Amino acid sequence: MSNQAAAAQHWYYRLRKDALLIAARSGNLAESFILKIERRLLSGLQHDPEVPDTVKPVLLACHSKAVRQELEMQRQCRANNNTTRGKAQ
């Protein structure tokens, strides 16, 4: 693993941990809520001089991937619910 990849992984895990802590304190652990918090934290990290410029695009890509996965899960749940309703009628 390159130094850049290791640094990006470190910052993403830190971002995710902070988002989970905030969500846990609020009592809302829904993935969509965690992603909203993560988005806010990520916005702050983009302006943080401590975060290397090479890491910032990787953080955005990781967050984007998590959002896409959450959207896909929601679509599958809706599709399953629609299929279940159709069978019940």
Q: What is the pLDDT of residues 27-70, one digit of tens each?
A: 888 888 888 898 899 989 889 899 899 989 989 998 899 899 98
Mean pLDDT of the chain: 87
Q: What is the pTM of this model?
A: 0.68
Burial track 2-25 (b if 16+ CB lie within 10 A, e otherwise): eeeeebbeebbeebbeebeebbee
Task: Please state the domain extents for the chain.
Answer: 3-88
Give 5's pLDDT tier (boundaries 50, 70, 90).
confident
pLDDT at 87: 63
Q: Taking 70 as the threshold, does the pLDDT of residue 89 lie above it?
A: no
Q: Taking 80 as the threshold, does the pLDDT of residue 88 lie above it?
A: no
